[in-house]
Amino acid sequence: MKFGFFDDLNKEYVITTPETPYPWINYLGSQAFFSLISNTAGGYSFYKDAKLRRITRFRYNNVPLDLGGGRYYYLYDNGDFWSPGFAPAKKELEYYECRHGMGYTKITGRRNGIETKITFFVPLDYNGEVHKVSIVNTSNQVKNVKLFSFLEWCLWNAQEDSTNFQRNFSTGEVEVKGSVIYHKTEYKERRDHYAFFSVNAPISGFDSDRESFLGTYHGFDNPQVVARGESNNSVADGWSPIASHCVEISLQPKESKELVFILGYAENKLEEKWEYQVGEVDTDGLLLSSVAPNGTNVINKKKAEEMIAKYATVKAVDQALLELKDYWDKLLSKYNVKSHDDKLNRMVNIWNQYQCMVTFNLSRSASYFESGIGRGMGFRDSNQDLLGFVHQIPDRARERIIDLASTQLPDGGAYHQYQPLTKKGNDEIGGNFNDDPLWLILAVTAYIKETGDYDILEVNTPYDNKLELAKPLSDHLKRAFNHVIENLGPHGLPLIGRADWNDCLNLNCFSMDPGESFQTVTSKDGKVAESVMIAGMFTYIGEEYAILMDKVGNNEESIRAMKEVENMRDVIMKHGYDGSWFLRAYDDFGRKIGSDECEEGKIFIESQGFCVMGKCGLNDGKAQKALDSVEKRLGTKFGLVLNNPAFTRYYVEYGEISTYPAGYKENAGIFCHNNAWIMCAEAVIGRGDKAFDYYTKIAPAYTEEYSEIHRLEPYVYAQMVAGKDARRFGEAKNSWLTGTASWNFVAISQYILGIKPEYDGLMIDPAIPTDWEVYQITREFRGDRYDITIVNPYHVSKGVKKLVVDAKEVEGNIIPVFGDGLEHKVKVILG
Ligand code: BGC
Ligand code: IFM
């Protein structure tokens, strides 16, 4: 069952009922000010850091789920009231539609002959959310309505805001000036920022105190002010500050009016400064926010006034919307496919790339499954995300790489996470996830292949954020590579450390969460558990390192690295393969994990994907056999489960993985992230039919058909879908912020459709279903545009028979870099 449809022309998903199986959200913002917005306008905003600069309040896991807060509007018409976005008033609407587009959301609701359409977006280079509200009188009578706005302020630090009530209830401060409601509560010693909510029309009333607006025993669905049709003009003093305007609107039949509301964030000064005097002036000559002698907080409103003036007219707002559209059109035009399959086209051209940009911006911080107060930026996560957006914003990818590498530790390992505001490694979690360093190599090689910018290797980059430890980025890669071979276990396989990619496979019995160490039952104090997955990653990514070293003329290093890689392949085939697939690991007692000998968890997906991508077992059929085992043991109609059989009891020596009920998350859930590795592996061995079949099982445009089972947004990937052992098989969780986005983009764009950036050009190496006849790709690469037509007259999966570039046949399968900024016509014949 579907709850909407794709509008590909406008790059929108159109939701036709407010009662979706779960709130279906979108993201606004692309630089510093970000918002989450659901199909009923629920969600919240923050500036840069979802934990420390939360602007509006949201109650996670609220009842009902999506009434935790939002930017809400209410229409009052002659004793009746409703919300044009359905929530929070939840009065029946004659018409409802929500269009989630690229960086904006448009919600339309009609009742009593009043149609309200609200466009929510964050303009480029702007620290605020703009709401363009259009109200049309579709009836034949004159209408005198009142529009009430509503949002609730968060007291900046989202964690404190939801816990420290003994303080919070006495700190709230607001100020109302004309049609602008300012939120100026201070967060402890910080006094340099404030927020505001404005409307570009005179107001007939306002409220800034939550209880006065709602009534002590009423919720957002039935605010007493709205029910009565009259603001209280309340000024908050402590408790819970909010912002609500009341605008009176008179409409002739068919007449329409437009208003602009702005939720903005302003800082009085740019630099961090913790102590200053009342009335001190910053370098721009602006008065700093400060505590006046009478104890009230004086803010400098100049910045807010400038921001409000910028979008005072609908014309300016429409122009900003066009600019936003143009921004996204440009980002999304770097890779485009035209094929017989609309679902494929919309995933590749629109939604998958959009999701990759969202994961770039948000990492794993704030979604309807991530509370924004937990994780900062993940070293592993962010490096992988980069694979999905590097072609769209190479400059920011470069910056991200340096930020990430600056948190690397001198021994080549890495802090597992860092906080985006400070960019400092998180000591509480520390390092010691032994897959982490390899992802840096993968990100850097992907970046250089995309851009040709070898200079990045020379950038003097700190270790552990300490400038005195800085070394060229190339040194970071070397130490990352060495970190693996300097930490080998009894079989010569890499030590797993606290965990590898699978956070929950805690073979040394440490939990992921600080302070929650699992009971230790290791034989050797948690020292010798080994990971075949890291070994597989090493053969794949280590070879990438060796090739890079060769490219930069460091032959000695390249030869050394290649030797290590070859050696690891031998070790894998000797100790990491048994029966019909690759093992997953050895535990601290030296016992196999992911072997037929195991009672449960006989086979795991991760090592099959990486060992095959790393060319292990390609020559003796073992790779193929392993992938056949994947299909047989892990395959389901909704995708591949992570392991099988699922763990049905707790194994203290395996850690968190076995604490999950069978079929969920890392315990035999369908992890969409590593489904992509199997697509890549199938492509490596040339089985395009299987690769694409796996793709269609999890790509949202294909799962849209059964949205009532899947439940989450049909336009973006979720991290996990409940596996075959789960009671709710097929139900998804954790949408949006997941490495699934980037890896599925890599799988489809590079491995299946087969356009791979290489150091010396664009490699054409598809692995497609044999029944495909033809498809076209346009790819922007290093300033040129390639218009590539791939035909498949012999119905093969793989193999380039002929490559013609600008009417000239080219040897091999690499389109050279022209660097002339022109468009080049490419014809590829498979066979
Ligand atoms: C989850 C993992 C997650 C980890 C860190 C675990 O509970 O299952 O998917 O990566 O926590 O947040
Ligand atoms: O690899 C991790 C990732 O870093 C966070 N989400 C879950 C994955 C698997 O445990």
The token pair at 207 is 């409220």
> Is the CB–ligand 2 distance for residue 502 below 6 Å?
yes
Across the range 614-633, mean pLDDT stands at 98
Among 504, 516, 642, which is best to mutate for testing ligand 1, by the most ligand atoms less than 8 A from CB?
A: 504
Which phi and psi angles does 117 have, rounded to 5°? -120, 125
For 351-382, how does the pLDDT look when each residue is reduced to its tens digit (9 = 90+)? 999 999 999 999 998 999 999 998 778 999 99
Tell me which ligand sits closest to the C-alpha of residue 604.
Answer: 2
* Ligand of minimum distance to the alpha carbon of 672: 2
Count other Cβ atoms within 10 Å, centred on residue 248: 15
Closest ligand 2 atom to the C-alpha of 381? 4
Q: What is the pLDDT of residue 446?
A: 98
Ligand 1, residue 734: give the atom nearest the CA: 9
Distance 110 CA to ligand 2 centre (A): 43
Residues that are catalytic = 503
**Which ligand gives the minimal distance to the CA of 502?**
2
504 lines ligand 2 (CB under 6 A): yes
Please give the structure tokens belonging to residue 757.
């950036």
- Give mean pLDDT, residues 626-654: 96
Q: Evaluate whether 8 touches 346 at the Cβ level (below 8 Å).
A: yes
Instruction: Establish whether residue 363 lines the binding site of ligand 2, counting it when its CB lies within 6 angstroms of any ligand atom.
Output: no
User: Ligand 1: which atom is nearest the Cα of residue 374?
Assistant: 12
Ligand nearest to the CA of 385: 2
How far, in Å, is the centroid of ligand 1 from the Cα of 729? Answer: 20
Give the pLDDT band (50/70/90) at residue 423.
confident
Look at residues 816, 752, 810, 813 and name the one whose alpha carbon lies nearest to residue 782. 816
Q: Which residue has the tokens 């490699």?
A: 763
For ligand 2, atom 1, which residue shows the shortest CA distance? 501
User: Residues 598-615: pLDDT tens digits?
Assistant: 999 999 999 999 999 999
DSSP class of residue 454 equals G
pTM: 0.95
Give the alpha-carbon dihedral of 556, 562, 568, 569, to 10 degrees: -160
Q: What is the pLDDT of residue 291?
A: 45
Which residues does ligand 1 sit against, CB inside 6 Å? 503-504, 512, 656, 665-666
Q: Say whether pLDDT at 786 is over 90.
A: yes
pLDDT at residue 511 is higher than 70: no
Ligand 2 atom with minimal separation from the 503 CA: 10
Convert the pLDDT of each residue in 289-336 to its tens digit: 444 444 556 677 889 999 999 999 999 999 999 999 999 999 999 999
- How confident is the model at residue 282, as a pLDDT? 38
Least confident of 10-14, 51-55, 590-594, 675-679: 51-55
Task: Enter the tokens of residue 609.
Answer: 């994907």
* C-alpha 185: how far from chain center: 30
Q: Are 138 and 75 in contact (CB under 8 A)?
A: no
Within 530-581, residue ranges assigned H as helices are 532-551, 555-575
What are the structural domains, with CATH classification, of the chain? 4-321 (2.70.98.40), 336-637 (1.50.10.10), 755-830 (2.60.420.10)
Residue 431: the pLDDT is 84
Confidence of residue 690 (pLDDT cuts 50, 70, 90): very high
666 C-beta closer than 6 A to ligand 2: yes
Task: Please give the torsion angle defined by the CA atoms of residues 560, 564, 569 and 571, in that order, rounded to the nearest 10 degrees.
Answer: 150
Residue 12 above 50 pLDDT? yes
- Model confidence over 425-476: pLDDT tens digits? 888 788 889 999 999 999 999 999 999 999 999 999 999 999 999 999 999 9
- CA–centroid distance, residue 501 to ligand 2 (Å): 6
Statement: residue 281 has pLDDT above 50? no
pLDDT score of 653: 83
For residue 191, pLDDT beyond 90: no
Alpha-carbon distances of 364 from 385, 418, 467, rounded to whole Å? 10, 12, 27
pLDDT band at 757 (very low <50, low <70, confident <90, very high): very high
160-177 pLDDT, tens digit each = 999 999 999 999 999 999
- What are residue 377's phi and psi, to 5 degrees? -95, 135
Statement: residue 508 has pLDDT above 70: yes
CA distances to 1, 50, 303, 424, 734 from 427, rounded to whole Å, are 47, 20, 36, 9, 26
Answer whether residue 286 shows pLDDT above 90: no
For 65-107, how does the pLDDT look when each residue is reduced to its tens digit (9 = 90+)?
999 999 999 999 999 999 999 999 999 999 999 999 999 999 9
**pLDDT cut 90: percent of the chain above it:** 87
Rounded to whole angstroms, how far apart are CA atoms 168 and 184? 13
**Burial category of 645 from C-beta neighbours within 10 Å (exposed 0-12, middle 13-18, buried 19 and up):** middle
**Mean pLDDT computed over every residue of the chain:** 93
Residue 767 · residue 691 · CB < 8 Å: yes
Report the pLDDT value the prediction gives residue 589, as an integer from 0 to 100.
87
Q: Residue 290: its pLDDT value, please?
A: 44
Kindly report which listed range (481-485, 512-516, 638-642) carries the lowest average pLDDT score: 512-516
Query: Does 503 contact ligand 2 (Cβ within 6 A)?
Result: yes
What is the Å distance from ligand 2's center to 436 Cα? 11
pLDDT given at position 773: 98
Q: Is the CB of 655 under 6 A from ligand 2?
A: no
Pocket test for ligand 2, best of 362, 607, 672, 673 (most atoms within 8 A of CB): 673
Question: Which range (42-51, 254-263, 660-669, 735-744) has the least confidence?
Answer: 42-51
For ligand 1, atom 10: residue with the closest CA: 503
Q: CB under 8 Å to 252, separation ≥6 — which residues?
A: 137, 142
**152 close to 57: Cβ distance less than 8 angstroms:** yes
Distance from the alpha carbon of residue 503 to the mean position of ligand 2, in angstroms = 6
Please report, rounded to a whole number, the percentage of residues in the chain having pLDDT higher than 70: 93
Decide: 359 in ligand 2 pocket, CB within 6 A. no
Coil, strand or helix at 188 = coil
Tokens describing residue 202: 């005179």
pLDDT tens digit sequence for 31-64 = 999 999 999 999 999 998 898 899 999 999 999 9
Residue 381 beta carbon below 6 angstroms from any ligand 2 atom? yes
- What per-residue confidence (pLDDT) applies to 280? 42
pLDDT on residue 374: 81
Q: What pairs with residue 732 in β-bridges?
A: 721
Question: Confidence class of residue 193 from pLDDT cuts 50, 70 and 90?
Answer: confident
Q: How far apart are CA 594 and CA 292, in angstroms?
A: 66
